[in-house]
Amino acid sequence: MLQFLVLVVVIAYVSLSLKKWSPKYQVIGIMDTLIGLFLLLTNASITVLLVSSKVLFW
Question: Among residues 29, 34, 26, 44, which one has the least CA distance to residue 1?
Answer: 34
For residue range 19-34, what is the model confidence (pLDDT) as tens digits?
998 899 989 988 998 8
- pTM of the entire predicted model: 0.69
- The Cα 49–Cα 8 span in angstroms is 22
Handedness of CA 19, 21, 26, 29 (dihedral sign): positive
- The overall average pLDDT reported for the chain is 84
Q: Where are the domains of the chain?
A: 2-57
